[in-house]
Chain A
């Protein structure tokens, strides 16, 4: 295991921010964190980075503790964006990479490469405060991975970006993973987690309520969605035993069912109404799982 969190608990006075968290992330894996505000994501990340020491339990990286001696191996993009507003982009990237153990020349070279990749090479000599939020975000990501860390911690990397830039950053992060980096990230967009991550954890009030690979999580959730399209009114089908939720959509309806057996029953019942244009069994979305587990919508 490359990253290991064993029974980590962090208390601030009487308040328990993280409660006996266990997590293992294999080398080269991407792990997603979901959780409402105050669920303990940032505290967990800060413990991983060694900014906070766990009250109990421990965090380990490649068999040893995480401290400033392995700082060059770690990259971090904080939730609250942090760059020097008055410093020039390239100067800043080189400075931050130097602090992570890179030499100035390599850092300059890499900075140029990344700025080109993100189609912003002309910003190298601009001050950060002159850049748009989206472009600052690109610089922030570059700052976190310029020094080629083997563990990359990204706290909400895509917030505030337009769809085109989200795709650009996603591709960059996936490429970076292919080069062998272990990546931990949180996002408020479930689809991003679903698309990028191998495994995921849902945090609620400092506790892990669900974790595993995306497939496992969905399978273990059990419930399925059934989509039916037909011309007839099929609202009466909502009374079929095992249907937990019914929603009318244009040209048909969407059902949430307890398991696949209910779906079969639903198909048989629907066929009695007449011509069936479309029938499909769909995996539940992470959003539905999240709401079911945490009891409220993800903000």
Chain B
């Protein structure tokens, strides 16, 4: 056990101390803070740049009504009555001193004409249209002698709800809340099962190509070496994820944004079940161990670090297929292919997590999937250790999956 901890510490420390690790972590943390404060930052650029909308109103009655209406709508548009003629205003627009103006006319109904430099600047025209429409409604209501209660009843919104009858399904409301978070967590698991096992593969290949491997495995059994390394890098992954989690949480808390409204409502942070996070951690760990063992096995076959990517390709394909199923499954988590692949160990870390996050599954389903994954990790570990034992002694030019057989033979005890 002593050697296990020495290798564990070494694998963890050397990686944690590298510039690339520190920089990647710092950048990610910075991005979290940036994203969390995005609404504030956008707001910063909006302020003070409000252009004034000039109102041409011959009657002189309509302009204050429009201003009132815009104020009621919380609009950012600043509207001001003007004495300038249309010709002067148009000149102003051409010169760039005036951004837009609106001409209000009173006939049987209200009329409005919005003029700006180009058609693409109609960004607030729909808002203006609503405002003018409201003015018209209020005026007509007054003419018809409707009370405000009658008016309210006239415009009362209908109730429209969606429900699904499937047992597993969450209500539409719950779904849209869970969707954003599950999406982000799947993304994180996906990145983690690619990033950390790749780190293992590079480590193993570097040790092999620099031939220090021969010294290592003459000191410590290759199996111990392999698992200590996987555990060490795994610890590194947990640390990094914890930093990310903490940074994300702090960033959101300190940004002063309301998490359940506006920009963040998309992610559904408003009402989060703690079990979703627990499952995310669990599936991250299982996915990591599964792919780390596979990566160590494959990397033990190469002689040069340049060959690692080639041999890792089949493994990457598995992860990518899993992620495709998971991402497509976000919109239909109870599709049959999603259900089936959530029990296939190589896809389960992503797909079963998706199902757990999006559906109300009976507990035995994720547990069964976890059991299958654990069994696969055990089997791969046993098999991988045997390949590893022979593989690390093999130095050839051609590397392919066929070499697994050669490695097994070489590593064979008898």
The residues of A with any CB-CB pair to B shorter than 8 Å are 12-13, 46, 49-53, 55, 68, 71, 74, 76, 78, 80-85, 87, 95-96, 98-101, 143-144
In the complex, the number of residue pairs spanning A and B with C-beta atoms less than 8 Å apart equals 63
Known: A99-B3, A143-B215. A12 touches B410 (CB 8 A): yes
* CA distance in complex: A216, B210 (Å): 40
* Extra 5 A-B pairs, beta carbons < 8 Å, given A50-B218, A82-B211: A52-B393, A76-B215, A76-B218, A85-B210, A96-B216
CB closest residue in chain A, given B414: A53
Residues of A within 8 A of B409 (CB): 12-13
Contact of A99 among B210, B216, B393 (CB under 8 A): B216
**Contacts A13-B409, A46-B393, A99-B6 given; does A71 touch B214 at CB 8 Å:** no
> A87–B414 contact, CB under 8 A?
no
Q: Is the CB of A82 within 8 A of B414?
A: no
Residues of B within 8 A of A143 (CB): 215
- 8 A–B contacts, CB within 8 A, in A order: A12-B410, A51-B393, A53-B412, A71-B220, A74-B218, A78-B215, A80-B214, A82-B215
Is the Cβ of B214 less than 8 Å from the Cβ of A82? yes
B18 (CB) vs chain A CBs: closest residue:
A86
B268 → chain A closest CB, angstroms: 44
Chain B residues 90 to 108 lying within 8 A of chain A, measured CB to CB, are: none
A95 B6 Cβ-Cβ under 8 A: yes
The answer, among B14, B206, B219, B393, for a CB contact under 8 Å with A100, is B219
Closest 5 CB pairs of A and B: A82-B211, A82-B212, A99-B219, A80-B211, A78-B214
| Of A53, A76, A82, A85, most B-chain CB atoms within 10 Å | A82
* Closest partner residue, chain A, to B5 (CB atom): A98
Q: Which residues on the B side are within 8 Å of A83 (C-beta)?
A: 210, 212
Chain A minimum-CB-distance residue to B14: A87
Interface size class of B (residues with CB under 8 A): 20 to 34
| Secondary structure class of chain B's binding surface, majority of residues | helix
Minimum CB distance partner of B216 in chain A = A99
8 Å CB interface, B189-225 against A: 206-207, 210-221
Tell me whether B413 is interfacial, beta carbon within 8 Å. Answer: yes
Task: Give A95 to B220 CA distance when docked, in angstroms.
Answer: 12
Flag if A99 contacts B214 (CB, 8 Å): no
Given A51-B214, A82-B210: A68 and B221 interface contact (C-beta under 8 Å): yes
In chain B, positions 233-291 with a C-beta closer than 8 Å to chain A are none
- Taken together as a complex, chains A and B put the C-alpha atoms of A50 and B220 apart, in Å, by 11
Note all chain B residues with C-beta closer than 8 A to A101.
2
Q: Which residue of B lies closest to A80 (CB)?
A: B211
Are A82 and B213 in contact, CB atoms less than 8 angstroms apart?
Answer: yes
* Cα-based distance from A50 to B212 in the complex (angstroms): 16
Q: Which residues of chain B have C-beta atoms less than 8 A from A80's C-beta?
A: 211, 214
B7 part of interface (Cβ distance < 8 Å):
yes
Q: How far is the CA of A110 from the CA of B164 in the complex (A)?
A: 73
A201: shortest Cβ distance to chain B, in Å? 21
Give chain A nearest CB distance to B229 CB in angstroms.
13
Asked whether A78 lies within 8 Å of B6 as measured between CB atoms, the reply is no
Whether B341 is near chain A, meaning CB under 8 Å from some CB there, is no
Nearest CB of chain B from residue A267's CB, rounded to whole Å: 53
| B10 sits at the interface (CB 8 A) | yes
Residues of A within 8 A of B216 (CB): 96, 99
CB B325 to nearest CB in A, in angstroms, measures: 38
Q: Which residue of chain B has its CB nearest to the CB of A49?
A: B218
List residues of chain A with CB within 8 A of the CB of B212: 82-84
Contact A51 B217 (CB under 8 A): yes
- Min Cβ gap B234→A in Å is 20
Of the listed residues A46, A50, A51, the one surrounded by the most CB atoms of chain B closer than 10 A to its CB is: A51
CA distance A258 to B2 in the complex (A): 60
Bitwise interface map of B from 308 to 351 toward A, beta carbon under 8 Å scored 1, else 0: 00000000000000000000000000000000000000000000
The answer for the CA separation of A76 and B14 in the assembled complex, in Å, is 24
Chain A nearest CB: distance from B90 CB in Å? 69
Select the residue from B7, B212, B393, B409 with max chain A CB neighbours within 10 A: B212
**Residues of chain B lying within 8 A (CB to CB) of residue A50:** 218
Q: Is the CB of A99 within 8 A of B410?
A: no
Residues in B with CB closer than 8 Å to A52 are: 393, 410
Q: Which residues of B contact A81 (CB under 8 A)?
A: 211
Q: Which residue of B lies closest to A155 (CB)?
A: B214
Give, as a whole number of angstroms, the nearest-CB distance from A95 to chain B.
6
The digit string for B158-169, where 1 denotes a CB below 8 A from any CB of A, is 000000000000
Q: Which of A13, A53, A95 contacts B10 (CB 8 A)?
A: A95
Q: Are B219 and A78 in contact, CB atoms less than 8 angstroms apart? A: no
Interface residues of B in 378-414 (CB under 8 A from A): 393, 409-410, 412-414
Q: Is the CB of B10 within 8 A of A96?
A: no
User: Closest Cβ of chain B: how far from A85's Cβ, in Å?
Assistant: 5
